């Protein structure tokens, strides 16, 4: 079994507001029951709200200052302000996001309780709802949601 993975030397996913490195069972077979990710966010940027249907999430703030927003069942809302050395926990299935509150890059380490964590982005949820239901729910024409630009601040395809 290969027990070493050159995590930070691996190719990150790059986007306009930062980078994301991933280690899961796909690229590091030794991982059983967990995955790990490193997130770097530029100042004043954020990670798109999303849910993990199959994993809990533990966050460790390596440097910078952040806010982790969490929304769950029965009106549960939390806004957790973290600084270097702080950790936070997001229960499986809860909507959550990470914001960089500082004027320097934010570095986060994210540990997920599944070797292949699933992710559903908020934008994917909204895009999957019929235009008729969007109009009923929000009281606006569905086309209004089509005008929201993909400004590159989102990380797509996992985490």
pLDDT for the residue 143: 76
Q: Do residues 151 and 60 lie in contact, with contact meaning Cβ atoms separated by under 8 Å?
A: no
pLDDT for the residue 138: 86
Residues 13-23: b if buried by 16+ CB within 10 A, e if exposed: eebebbbbbbb
Q: Mean pLDDT for each 10-residue chunk of the chain (159 residues)?
A: 89 88 94 96 93 98 98 97 98 97 97 96 85 86 68 45
pLDDT for the residue 128: 83
Q: Kindly state the DSSP code that residue 103 receives in the 8-state scheme.
A: S
Global pTM reads 0.87
**Encoded tokens for 137:** 């729910």
pLDDT for the residue 159: 41
pLDDT for the residue 150: 53
Strand partners, 40: 19, 107
């Amino acid at each position: 079994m290969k027990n070493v993975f050159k995590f930070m030397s691996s190719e990150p996913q790059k986007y306009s507001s930062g980078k994301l490195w991933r280690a899961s069972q796909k690229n590091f077979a030794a991982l059983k029951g967990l995955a790990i990710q490193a997130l770097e966010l530029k100042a004043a940027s954020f990670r798109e709200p999303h849910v993990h249907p199959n994993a809990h999430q533990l966050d460790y703030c390596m440097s910078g200052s952040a806010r982790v927003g969490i929304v769950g069942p029965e009106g549960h809302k939390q806004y957790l302000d973290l600084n270097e050395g702080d950790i936070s926990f997001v229960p499986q299935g809860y909507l959550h996001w990470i914001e960089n509150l500082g004027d320097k890059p934010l570095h986060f380490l994210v540990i997920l309780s599944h070797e292949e964590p699933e992710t559903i982005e908020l934008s994917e949820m909204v895009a999957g709802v019929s235009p008729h239901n969007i109009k009923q729910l929000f009281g606006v024409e569905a086309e209004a949601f089509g005008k929201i630009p993909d400004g590159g601040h989102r990380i797509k395809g996992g985490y």
